[in-house]
């Protein structure tokens, strides 16, 4: 266990040993049915990629506001480049979260027409390495996520490679986030209000400060910190919907630190693994039973994403 969530080793899944592989699948499935979060060792994100990106993030968010604002494009709903402080809020709220962030998106490989759906990634003239570290992290996390989804597919009784073509050139987002130091008594105790993620799964690199909490089945907030060599990987609403609530998209939030730590900024880098927009999120037949009747109407991933971006204030 890692702060209340199971810790498992992806190397077991990749080992070639069928018993270790199946044990990983079973532990992952149980965790996702129970709390919706796991900590993963043995992932494919390199330590130098992670540390390099964190250093670049700190440099970027320390740039003057007028420089950062050059990289904000309101016409693309914050899907690439910079989103300034307080723009995004949790679903059902109208108070902005206490954060600013950056988005790296998919770099389409090959002649895939889906390229026309995605804005180009943005390069920061003042920090040329920011882009290269971001793209490397994106690639390593996307590959890790593919193996996680293969394990999930086996657990659900699907073909191991069920998700592969659905996430190839998918609409995933890598989001470096900066929660600035707190300079006055905050209106609320949270930096990012309680929410569920939109996507299939989220892979979170170790944050620079504590603050992440998840809501347990007992309706209690449990604090989680990704250890330096681990990723925290949680279920998103798309996967919960696809599995007709068999796998749990757990409510989570980021709370403010104790007053003596107000002067410390917090940096966090989640990777939101999204499928291609045409993927169907209609509930899997194997997840609809007499005990668990159909909970959702048919919808595509693209339609669902548009609904949610409007709900959180990024799209008009």
In a domain, 126, yes or no: yes
In a domain, 266, yes or no: yes
How far is Cα 312 from Cα 316, in angstroms, rounded to an integer?
A: 10
CA 157 to chain centre: 24
Give pLDDT tens digits for 88-139.
544 554 555 678 999 999 999 889 999 999 999 999 999 999 999 999 999 9
- Helix (H) and strand (E) counts in the chain: 8, 14
How far is Cα 272 from Cα 141, in angstroms, rounded to an integer?
A: 9
DSSP 67-115: HHGGG--GGGTTSSEEE-TT----TT--SPPS-EEEEB-----SS-GGG
How far is Cα 12 from Cα 19, in angstroms, rounded to an integer?
A: 9
Q: By three-state DSSP, how is residue 152 classified?
A: helix
In a domain, 20, yes or no: yes
Contact 190, 256 (CB under 8 A): yes
In a domain, 235, yes or no: yes
Give pLDDT tens digits for 227-274.
778 999 999 999 999 999 999 898 888 777 677 777 778 888 999 999
Contact 210, 224 (CB under 8 A): no
Phi then psi dihedrals of residue 2, to 5 deg: -130, 100
Residues 6+ apart with CB under 8 A from 222: 3, 4, 5, 213, 214, 215, 216
Q: What is the span of the domain harbouring residue 254?
A: 7-311
In a domain, 1, yes or no: no
The model's pTM is: 0.90
Measured CA to CA in angstroms, residue 150 lies from 24, 155, 197 at distances of 11, 9, 20
Phi then psi dihedrals of residue 17, to 5 deg: -95, 115
In a domain, 316, yes or no: no
In a domain, 38, yes or no: yes
In a domain, 83, yes or no: yes
CA 155 to chain centre: 21
Residue 252: CATH number of its domain: 2.60.120.330
Give pLDDT tens digits for 260-314.
777 778 888 999 999 999 999 999 999 999 999 999 999 999 999 988 877 766 6
* Number of domains into which the chain is organized: 1
How far is Cα 196 from Cα 214, in angstroms, rounded to an integer?
A: 10
DSSP 168-183: TT---EE--EEEPPP-
């Amino acid at each position: 266990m890692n702060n209340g969530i199971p810790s498992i080793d992806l190397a077991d899944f990749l080992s070639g040993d069928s018993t270790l592989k199946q044990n990983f699948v079973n532990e992952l499935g149980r965790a996702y049915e129970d709390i919706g979060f796991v900590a993963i060792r043995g992932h494919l994100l390199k330590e130098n990629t992670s540390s390099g990106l964190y250093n670049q993030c700190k440099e970027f968010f320390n740039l003057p506001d007028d420089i950062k604002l050059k990289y904000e494009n309101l016409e693309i709903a914050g899907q690439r480049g910079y989103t300034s402080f307080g723009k995004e809020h949790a679903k059902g709220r109208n108070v902005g979260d206490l954060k600013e962030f950056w988005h790296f998106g998919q770099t389409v490989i090959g002649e895939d027409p889906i390229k026309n759906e995605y804005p180009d990634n943005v390069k920061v003239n003042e920090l040329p390495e920011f882009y290269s570290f971001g793209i490397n992290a994106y690639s390593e996390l996307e590959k890790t996520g593919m193996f996680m989804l293969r394990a999930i597919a086996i657990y659900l009784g699907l073909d191991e490679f069920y998700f592969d073509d659905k996430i190839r050139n998918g609409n995933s987002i890598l989001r470096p986030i900066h929660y600035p130091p707190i300079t006055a008594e905050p209106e609320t105790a949270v930096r990012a209000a309680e929410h569920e993620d939109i996507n299939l799964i989220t892979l979170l690199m170790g944050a620079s400060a504590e603050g992440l909490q998840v809501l347990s089945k007992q309706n209690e907030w449990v604090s989680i910190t990704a250890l330096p060599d681990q990723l925290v990987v949680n279920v998103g609403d798309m996967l919960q919907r696809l599995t007709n609530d068999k796998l749990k998209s757990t409510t989570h939030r980021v709370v403010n630190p104790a007053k003596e730590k107000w002067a410390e900024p917090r940096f966090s880098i989640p990777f939101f693994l999204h499928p291609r927009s045409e993927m169907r999120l209609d509930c899997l037949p194997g997840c609809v039973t007499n005990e668990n009747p159909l909970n959702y109407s048919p919808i595509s991933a693209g339609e669902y994403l548009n609904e949610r971006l409007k709900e959180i204030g990024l799209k008009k």
